[in-house]
Structure 1
């Protein structure tokens, strides 16, 4: 069962009271020129009243001051009192005009005015003996106070109109005819700043009609649903029927907006986290590249120094071996020569006993043999030296070849590593550029995943979606295989539609 449609609500703004426009056919005293003339007359009359009151009270107050021993101050005292009253009233109007009222000023001004009346009456004699004279002294000051209060009321109302705080007055007859409902109406107007009396009455009529419609629809107001009772429940808070009925829709709209903002905040937080992760990966790759480059340079320097030291050690070893061999051969040659000489001596001694004639021949043969052996030893020593120099030269050549090979291998490894690092850095920069584009586009998480899979297909599968395994997609995105299949289809559609790798950002 549906609720009855609420009546049409008045569109009169709360802060603007309904006033009748001034038309050209209005009576003469309602015309702007006449209003200005009346204002100037009132100002002139008030000034005249102030002057008359001052002139009338001056002599009386001066006389009273002299009687009370004021001396020369008796002539100044009346001026001070009247000027003080005017200053206090002027300050009161000034503060009201500037939205900073101070009621103490008004109270003091009225107190001093009353004191002036009493002083004037006392100057004429005891007040009880001449009450008529005392009353006559009070007439002009009271008229002046009335004029000032009228001006004050005008200033207060003008300030409220300028601030949009003016509120219509409730007619007296309504207070008399319906005091309690009128009090409730007045309370709502004051509490909730309902400026227009006509608007407040119209809303009361709408609520009354709405209550009757609820009774007609449900048989009793208590049987109506909670949403249908909102206009009656929210009446004490200054809401019209339409405003109260619109509360549920406004609440749902506000809740939907809060959910949307929460979802947007979550997506933005995830995007920022991914961006930070990508930046961290790029920085890590750059750091790793620097470390690898430094390590390669250190290894190259260490290898060169080690190879040079090994070459020098080998050369020294070869030279030492050659010298040792030469010395050994010389010693052997000397020993052999000594042995030969001893044998020859023994042979010569024996031969001398046997054959004197063969001594010279044997000595000559021995001498020739020693010379031949000496020449042989020298030749062998020279050959060993030549061989040692050849080995040293070969070792140096081999060392140079090995050093060159190591340098070539190190350069090739460094170049390969550099290309790998640059490839990873470029991939990370492409990923970062893609994330920034997705941030600007404010994509949903599913759309972000589809674009990431598209980039994986373009970089790892040569643009063929079927070549990219679902397990790879599932591991990369942390999703199930079925969802990975959907993301691969979405990525294939993106690639077919012209999606390409974004250009990497330049730092």
Structure 2
């Protein structure tokens, strides 16, 4: 085999080269006489012979890739016939000198025979490697059994039986089984059961005797396997449904527990806020009552002020009247003095004019003058008394006015405090509503306790007055730290670790930077 392989490897290419050279020499000379130009005439034999090699090589390549295309082989054979014809007819008419024509056409023919032999060997090797080789039915069987062999060939090809001896054994087994069944039922195969007749029925479908007899048992096993698999899937599905139901029930109970806890906490906070709000509303109502009372008091105070003003005017009038009385008294005293002087002058004049007046008359005039003076003194004392009383009334009225103004100021301060407390209560109530809404949103989002804590710290920061417009990320953190201390976070979230509270503040700042708003 080694020697044969060497001989083929050396001789085949040698024959091909010789045939190609002879064909090239013959056709290149003849092409010029067939109308080809001097430049294209040498390329004519190359195109014809190279096409044969390319078509055959491409055919072998496609066979190797398990995608054969018979048209390539037919094209190669057609070009082989053409080059044989061209070479044979290059020396004139083929019938004029058959030997000469054959000598020019035999070399391309030998080349194609060599290529076909290599192709056959290549295809056989490829089929053996791929496991697709099929034995051929010997020629003697076609000759000796011309009727049965086509049916034999048909079953062999239809059922992809590659081995001819294996197909023979199948036929022998089927014939032997039929003979055994005939002997078992004394030649009446109709008495055989359906399972016993299966090999004859299934032979046309490629089953062997053993495969046909084992078919019912195999189908029963497959049916049992399918039933077991179906039952297993059903049990698995029931188990999964039960597990899913229990898991869903557990999650529901857990969610209900969390919801109840949050609801209790929110209701407590809301109740507390409402209580504070009610207290503040009550305080506001009391403040309103006090305000009304203050208004009434202010009205009373205004009335008293008007009365005091009237009293002041009356006192002033009395004072003016007293001053007038005092002036009158002064004038009266001056008049008295003048009258006294006049009386004295009269007395002197009288004494000088008349010496005849008696001592009694002079004494009487003196008593009268003394009486007038006493009356003037009394009037002046009365005027002083009235002026002192008017001054006391004025001071009393000013003190009353000052007390009324102080009372009005205290009432206004209380009213402002009540208004501020009312606004604080409303703010706390709004904060409680925001907190409740945020908790409900967090429950719907199924946030973790840590995420809830971080969001609560963020809400505390906004409630403390944080404004993030125009602030950088680090500025937001600094502002948050200024507004909310670690102690505030520990107190609100019941956290004992300062490190955890600090991390909550950092995460809250990052959450606010990324757009969180309560």
TM-score relative to the length of structure 1: 0.52
Q: How far apart are 1:146 and its partner, in Å? A: 1.1
Q: Could you say which residue in structure 2 is the equivalent of 1:57?
A: 23
Q: Could you say which residue in structure 2 is the equivalent of 1:137?
A: 104
Q: Could you say which residue in structure 1 is the equivalent of 2:436?
A: none
- Does 1:106 find its partner at 2:76? no
Q: Please, which of 274, 278, 291 is the counterpart of residue 242 of structure 2?
A: 274
Q: Would the alpha carbon gap of residues 124 and 284 (structure 1) be closer, same or farther in structure 2, given more than 3 Å must change?
A: same
Q: How far apart are 1:234 and its partner, in Å? A: 0.7
In structure 2, what is the Cα distance between the partners aligned to 1:304 and 1:71? 114
In structure 2, what is the Cα distance between the partners aligned to 1:313 and 1:119? 126
User: Could you tell me whether the CA contact under 8 Å between 2:55 and 2:72 is conserved in 1?
Assistant: yes
Which stretch shows the higher mean deviation, 114-123 or 209-218? 114-123
User: Could you tell me whether the CA contact under 8 Å between 1:124 and 1:133 is conserved in 2?
Assistant: yes
Q: How far apart are 1:124 and its partner, in Å? A: 0.7
User: Could you tell me whether the CA contact under 8 Å between 1:61 and 1:78 is conserved in 2?
Assistant: yes
User: Could you tell me whether the CA contact under 8 Å between 1:65 and 1:74 is conserved in 2?
Assistant: yes
Q: How far apart are 1:59 and its partner, in Å? A: 2.9
User: Could you tell me whether the CA contact under 8 Å between 1:231 and 1:244 is conserved in 2?
Assistant: yes
Question: SS where residue 246 of structure 1 aligns?
Answer: helix
Question: SS where residue 71 of structure 1 aligns?
Answer: coil
Q: How far apart are 1:156 and its partner, in Å? A: 0.7
Q: Could you say which residue in structure 2 is the equivalent of 1:402?
A: none
In structure 1, what is the Cα distance between the partners aligned to 2:279 and 2:118? 115
Q: Could you say which residue in structure 2 is the equivalent of 1:283?
A: 251
In structure 1, what is the Cα distance between the partners aligned to 2:272 and 2:74? 106
TM-score relative to the length of structure 2: 0.51
Cα shift readout 1:319-362 (whole Å, capped 9, x = no counterpart)? x9xxxxxxxxxxxxxxxxxxxxxxxxxxxxxxxxxxxxxxxxxx
Question: SS where residue 147 of structure 2 aligns?
Answer: helix
- Does 1:237 find its partner at 2:205? yes
In structure 2, what is the Cα distance between the partners aligned to 1:306 and 1:128? 127
Q: How far apart are 1:131 and its partner, in Å? A: 2.9
Q: Tell which has more relative contact order, 1 or 2 (C-alpha 8 A, sep 6+).
A: 1
Q: Would the alpha carbon gap of residues 62 and 297 (structure 1) be closer, same or farther in structure 2, given more than 3 Å must change?
A: closer
- Does 1:42 find its partner at 2:8? yes
- Does 1:215 find its partner at 2:182? yes
Q: Please, which of 166, 180, 187 is the counterpart of residue 133 of structure 2?
A: 166
User: Could you tell me whether the CA contact under 8 Å between 1:50 and 1:144 is conserved in 2?
Assistant: yes
Question: SS where residue 228 of structure 1 aligns?
Answer: coil
Cα shift readout 1:61-80 (whole Å, capped 9, x = no counterpart)? 12221112322221232233
In structure 1, what is the Cα distance between the partners aligned to 2:19 and 2:115? 14
Q: How far apart are 1:235 and its partner, in Å? A: 0.7
In structure 2, what is the Cα distance between the partners aligned to 1:183 and 1:313? 114
Cα shift readout 1:350-386 (whole Å, capped 9, x = no counterpart)? xxxxxxxxxxxxxxxxxxxxxxxxxxxxxxxxxxxxx
User: Could you tell me whether the CA contact under 8 Å between 1:93 and 1:152 is conserved in 2?
Assistant: yes
Question: SS where residue 179 of structure 1 aligns?
Answer: coil
In structure 2, what is the Cα distance between the partners aligned to 1:306 and 1:60? 119
Q: How does 1:76-115 map to 2 (within 5 A)?
A: 76-115=43-82
Structure whose alpha-carbon radius of gyration is higher = 2
In structure 2, what is the Cα distance between the partners aligned to 1:244 and 1:117? 56
Q: How far apart are 1:297 and its partner, in Å? A: 3.1
**CA RMSD for the aligned pairs?**
2.9
Q: How far apart are 1:299 and its partner, in Å? A: 4.8
Q: Please, which of 116, 136, 150 is the counterpart of residue 149 of structure 1?
A: 116
Cα shift readout 1:164-203 (whole Å, capped 9, x = no counterpart)? 1112222222222222222222222211122222221112
Q: Would the alpha carbon gap of residues 281 and 68 (structure 1) be closer, same or farther in structure 2, given more than 3 Å must change?
A: same
Question: SS where residue 35 of structure 2 aligns?
Answer: coil
Q: Could you say which residue in structure 2 is the equivalent of 1:193?
A: 160
Q: How far apart are 1:306 and its partner, in Å? A: 7.3
User: Could you tell me whether the CA contact under 8 Å between 1:63 and 1:123 is conserved in 2?
Assistant: no
Q: How far apart are 1:99 and its partner, in Å? A: 2.0
Cα shift readout 1:207-251 (whole Å, capped 9, x = no counterpart)? 111111111112312221110011111111221111110101110
Q: How far apart are 1:313 and its partner, in Å? A: 7.3
User: Could you tell me whether the CA contact under 8 Å between 1:92 and 1:101 is conserved in 2?
Assistant: yes
In structure 2, what is the Cα distance between the partners aligned to 1:165 and 1:183? 21
Q: How many residue pairs are counted as aligned between the two chains?
A: 286
Q: Could you say which residue in structure 2 is the equivalent of 1:118?
A: 85
Q: How far apart are 1:134 and its partner, in Å? A: 2.1
Cα shift readout 1:108-158 (whole Å, capped 9, x = no counterpart)? 222222212222222211223223322332222222211111111001111
